[in-house]
């Protein structure tokens, strides 16, 4: 019993690390733009399919595939930013969200037209047996995922808290009007944050796909929903909140799947979000979001 | 008319109801990602009443609408005070819960020697009321269009009344509306119940048109589509959402040229259109302009 609990906790933390990365990307965009990017997951899926296509046609190493995933996601993100967010700055939040959803449909149809099979194999991060520690096992790819997530968080923290660009991002998040008056070029910050968030999403997408060893077009919706859930649970626009929300969602899912099965696992995650929203818990209603 | 055209037109009519429910909420200033849930409640409830208990369709539709209204009222009760993305996410969470509950719903009974009813992810087969009662597809289309006309007439009456002004006031400036003594929470709860009933009516008609429904018919894609229909058509008049549905289902699915690239064409058009008209084709200004020039 205790062994199961510990094993589930380990599994939950490793998938939670991927959720945390997805939530970080979402929350970065939300923090500066005050808009949810619904095609975030679709852009990640597009990046992963670019890598899959390269792998099928030319065969490529793991690192190169990771680089292509990130590059594809950033490219897709740039397209989304130009068409959905740049025209609606200071304008309608609903228009930006619906436009980003429209591009989600484009990405989904594009990948299914170019690669029509429902499921493609993706080179796995690690093929061997999982590591064993006494009664517990730890998948090597889960360990890599966790390590990469920590490294990405550290890099992001360094960028946001130790560079001039990071200072500008935080200033825009806190007080856009004052930041603009202080001479910060807002469009410049928006574009770079979008690229940064897309790159983080690309890393998360690569890790998820490579640890599953396969890819389907469902990845887009999956990333968007998990990223949104983790971001909301941790508090909109809060970076530490995104990490905590992602890990909490991973743990919640791992334990509820073990005790109640996969359908109830998803039900419980949404129920928790609904109840927390309805109860208006203070950490979810951050200043930057209201 | 050939069967294909009738099918496309019926679908346009069906999805107009759920697009109108998203529109109604948008007019009152709320963004919902979850109207598919109430569409689903209507579809399941209507199917259960006619196929399992032999109710006539009109009675089943009324009951399903009542349930849809009740469902959205209950979801709205704790969440309508939330703003913007918070409310949108709460509707998304509620709708995904509903979809999972449809997956868990196993409720079958024997009707004329045949097991009928929702069977979890296997879906719900045999909602055959319109075939058993000899209603031809063209007549069913007539029913859908007739109901849509009634609903639209209701919308126009409301838009011209004091209530319509109240709704737009609550949607565009809730603080000002509240300072004028309008009970915002009450207005929004009423809007939520009406939107739930509308979506449920669409669901009942959808279930009886298709004869088969399954939980994934009611996933987030439907919800965001209805929102997109309402927004691209325009937030100025109830014809807006209809125009949105016609653009998507009619012009693109109906014309077989674009069929393979439908989403790429439609998605690009929507994004571009919103750049120039962020409140849709028939937005408030366009509606005023048209009204001044039309007799």
Per-residue pLDDT of chain A (290 residues; tens, 9 = 90+): 787 888 888 889 988 999 999 999 988 888 888 888 999 999 999 999 999 999 999 888 888 999 999 999 999 999 999 999 989 887 778 889 889 988 998 999 999 999 998 899 998 887 777 788 777 777 888 888 888 888 888 888 899 899 999 999 989 888 888 998 999 998 889 999 999 999 999 999 999 999 888 999 999 999 999 999 999 998 887 888 899 999 999 999 999 998 888 888 889 999 999 999 998 888 777 644 43
Task: Identify whether B273 is part of a domain.
Answer: no
Residues in A closer than 8 angstroms to B260, CB to CB, are: 113
Q: Kindly state the tokens that stand for B150.
A: 């009634």
Q: Does the residue B227 lie in any domain?
A: no
The predicted structure's pLDDT at residue A286: 60
B259 touches chain A (CB under 8 A): no
Q: Evaluate whether A232 touches B89 at the Cβ level (below 8 Å).
A: yes
From A91, A228, A236, residue closest to B278, measured CB to CB: A91
**Chain-chain contact of A274 with B267 (C-beta, under 8 angstroms):** no
Question: Does B244 map to a domain?
Answer: no
Q: What is the pLDDT of residue A281?
A: 83
Q: What is the DSSP letter of B69?
A: H
What is residue B253's predicted lDDT score, i.e. its pLDDT? 67
> Residue B116's beta-bridge partner residues?
B109
Structure tokens at A288: 């930057």
User: A214-215 and A120-121: which strand pairing?
Assistant: antiparallel
Task: Give chain B's domain count.
Answer: 1
Residue B67 lies in a domain: yes
Please name every residue paired with A137 in a beta bridge, in sequence order, or none if there are none: A132
Identify the segments of chain B with pLDDT beneath 70: 253-259
B43 in any annotated domain? yes
Domain carrying residue B85: 3-219
Residue of A nearest to B121 (CA): A263
The predicted structure's pLDDT at residue A197: 94
Residue B283, domain member (yes or no): no
Task: Out of A98, A105, A113, name the one closest to residue B274 (CB).
Answer: A98
Closest CA in chain A for residue B278: A95
How many residues appear in chain B?
295
What pLDDT does A24 receive? 92
B contacts of A228 (beta carbons < 8 Å): 89, 92
Position B256 scores a pLDDT of 65
CA angle A230, A235, A239 (to 5 degrees): 80
**CB atoms A277 and B90 under 8 Å:** yes
Q: Which are the contacts of B28, defined by CB distance < 8 A and separation ≥ 6? A: B167, B170, B171, B187, B188, B191
**Contact (Cβ atoms closer than 8 angstroms) between residue A103 and residue A42:** yes
Q: CA separation (Å) from B57 to A18, B128, B209?
A: 48, 10, 12
- The alpha carbon dihedral of B250, B256, B257, B261 has a sign of positive
Q: Do A98 and B270 touch (CB under 8 A)?
A: yes
CB pairs under 8 A between A and B: 125
Asked if ipTM goes beyond 0.95, one says no
Token code pair at residue A18: 């991927």
pLDDT of residue B115: 87
Q: Between chains, do A105 and B279 touch, taking CB under 8 Å as contact? A: no
Residues of chain A with Cβ-Cβ distance to B101 below 8 Å are: 267
List the structure tokens of A232. Answer: 């909301």
- Calculate helix-pair angle for A262-279, A239-260, nearest 10 degrees: 140
Query: Of A124, A49, A101, nearest to A221 (Cα)?
Result: A101
Q: What's the gap in Å between the CA of B244 and the closest CA on chain A?
A: 13
């Amino acid at each position: 019993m205790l062994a199961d609990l510990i094993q589930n906790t380990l599994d939950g933390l490793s998938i939670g690390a991927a959720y945390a990365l997805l939530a970080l990307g979402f929350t970065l965009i939300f923090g500066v733009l005050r808009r949810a990017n619904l095609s975030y997951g679709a852009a990640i899926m597009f990046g992963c399919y670019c890598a899959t296509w390269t792998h099928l046609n030319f065969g490529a190493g793991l690192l190169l595939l990771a680089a292509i995933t990130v590059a594809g996601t950033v490219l897709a993100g740039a397209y989304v930013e130009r068409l959905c967010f740049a025209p609606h700055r200071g304008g309608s939040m609903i228009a930006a969200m619906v436009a980003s959803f429209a591009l989600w449909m484009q990405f989904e149809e594009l990948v299914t037209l170019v690669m029509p099979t429902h499921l493609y194999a993706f080179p796995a991060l690690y093929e061997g047996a999982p590591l064993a520690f006494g009664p517990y096992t730890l998948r090597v790819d889960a360990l890599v995922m966790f390590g990469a997530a920590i490294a990405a968080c550290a890099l992001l923290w360094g960028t946001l808290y130790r560079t001039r660009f990071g200072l500008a991002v935080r200033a825009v998040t806190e007080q856009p009007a004052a930041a603009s008056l202080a001479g910060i070029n807002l469009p410049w910050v928006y574009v770079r944050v979008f690229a940064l968030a897309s790159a983080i999403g690309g890393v998360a997408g690569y890790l998820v796909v490579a640890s599953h060893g396969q890819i389907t077009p469902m990845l887009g919706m999956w990333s968007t929903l998990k990223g949104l859930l983790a971001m909301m649970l941790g508090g909109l626009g809060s970076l530490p909140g995104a990490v905590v929300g992602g890990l909490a969602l991973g743990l919640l899912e791992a334990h509820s799947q073990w005790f109640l099965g996969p359908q109830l696992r998803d039900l419980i995650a949404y129920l928790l979000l609904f109840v927390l929203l309805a109860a208006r818990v203070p950490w979810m209603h951050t200043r930057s979001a209201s | 008319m050939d069967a294909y055209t009738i099918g496309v037109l019926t679908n346009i009519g069906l999805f107009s109801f759920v697009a109108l429910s998203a529109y109604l909420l948008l007019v009152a200033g709320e963004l919902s990602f979850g109207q598919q849930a109430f569409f689903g409640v209507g579809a399941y409830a209507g199917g259960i009443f006619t196929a399992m208990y032999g109710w006539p369709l009109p009675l089943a539709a009324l009951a399903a609408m009542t349930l849809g209204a009740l469902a959205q009222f209950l979801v709205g009760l704790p969440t309508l005070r939330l703003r913007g993305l918070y409310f949108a996410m709460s509707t998304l969470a509620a709708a995904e819960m509903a979809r999972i509950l449809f997956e868990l719903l196993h409720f079958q009974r024997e009707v004329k020697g045949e097991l009928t009813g929702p069977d979890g992810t296997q879906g719900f087969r045999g909602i055959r009321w319109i075939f058993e009662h000899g209603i031809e597809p063209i007549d069913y289309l007539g029913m859908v269009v007739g109901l849509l006309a009634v609903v639209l007439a209701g919308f126009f009456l409301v838009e011209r009344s004091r209530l319509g002004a109240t709704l737009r006031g609550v949607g565009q400036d809730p603080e000002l509306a509240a300072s004028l003594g309008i009970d915002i929470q009450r207005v929004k709860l009423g809007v939520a119940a009406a939107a739930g009933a509308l979506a449920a009516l669409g669901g009942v008609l959808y279930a009886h048109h298709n004869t088969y429904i399954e939980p994934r018919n009611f996933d987030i894609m439907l919800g965001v589509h209805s929102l997109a229909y309402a927004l691209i058509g325009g937030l100025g008049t109830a014809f807006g959402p209809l125009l949105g549905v016609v653009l998507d289902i009619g012009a693109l699915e109906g014309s077989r040229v674009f069929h393979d690239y439908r989403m790429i064409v439609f998605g690009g058009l929507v994004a571009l259109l919103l750049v120039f008209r962020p409140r849709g084709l028939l937005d408030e200004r366009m509606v005023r302009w048209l009204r001044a020039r039309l007799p």
